[in-house]
Amino acid sequence: MENQRKSLLFPLVIVLFFLLNATAFAQLRSDFYKNTCPNVESLVRAAVRQKFQQTFVTAPATLRLFFHDCFVRGCDASMLLSSPNRKAEKDHPDNLSLAGDGFDTVVKAKAAVDKDSKCRNKVSCADILALATREVVSMTGGPFYQVELGRRDGRVSTLAGVQHQLPGEGFNLDQLNTMFARHGLSQTDMIALSGAHTLGFSHCSKFSKRLYNFSPKSRVDPTLNRQYAAQLRQMCPIRVDPRIAINMDPTTPNTFDNAYFKNLQQGKGLFVSDQILFTDPRSRNTVNFFASNNNAFKQAFATAMIKLGRVGVLTGNQGEIRFDCTRQN
């Protein structure tokens, strides 16, 4: 009887989760600030453009920050909170590689918004991060999509909250699909969002196992293009400086395009979790489609980003509007 009750309760919990989430994101809308801060988009755009002109890293760093924030406790800017004893989300090992330029972009955009007396302390850090992410995608050649607004900022940020919430470099297709499905994202959404690896870089330690110690049968991952593997071994010798950065996209690393998918077709995915999208026949058709159609990829990416931006949002009276993005009010 007890087991029967549990088995009935589980689907109910899932349904309630999606209903609550649906209610929250139903309160998001693109004109949320039309009366309180009508020029919020142009203020954020100008601040992000200025930062982007200083360093290209602004783009991949902001995009990755948004993804990590949304996957941990939802899109509530909890990833931006600092802790005096280094026990916030950003201090977790999975987040230590988030580049400081992403955080700085949000801080600068928040300062620009709050400089406008009409907007001061009216716009959440979570919304500023969502807008800044759209801007960096667009500035690098990606799609310009509508950003739904009305998120509130979370008050909770813990190390424990990050555990098992972010996809690993060695994930297979089932692991990727399971993790993304938890947030209402389909396999197509997951593949499109993986295309964000068309920008940015990684460090050798994240993929060196594929080069030197893949399996008892094969030292080098056999799904890795042989020439590409040789180049990577040259750039990442065994005792390499851990600060050495390797482009995720070896062909057009500064352009948001579908080259990532063309690279996968040639065995040039940097992580196992990248290459698996082509190696696994269940996802290969989508990779081939995006590789052959840049516009289809960009459209799918825009759709997936809108869905990602709804994950676990706080709205209405939940959370707060932070005065300083790095700490609670």
Question: In degrees to the nearest 10, what's the CA dihedral of 31, 105, 56, 210?
Answer: -100
Q: What is the CA 26 to chain-centroid distance, rounded?
A: 22
Half-sphere exposure of 242 (CA within 13 A, CB side): 4
Is beta strand 201-203 parallel, antiparallel or unpaired with respect to 245-247? antiparallel
Biggest CA–CA distance in the chain, Å, is 65
C-alpha to C-alpha distance for 150 and 31, rounded to whole angstroms: 9
| Catalytic residue status for 68 | yes
Residue pair 75/305 in contact by the 8 Å Cβ criterion: no
| Amino acid identity for residue 242 in this structure | P
C-alpha to C-alpha distance for 199 and 181, rounded to whole angstroms: 24
Of 177, 191, 171, 196, which Cα lies nearest the Cα of 286? 191
| Coil/strand/helix, residue 246 | strand
Instruction: Spot the catalytic one: 68, 92, 183, 197.
Output: 68
Catalytic residue ranges: 68
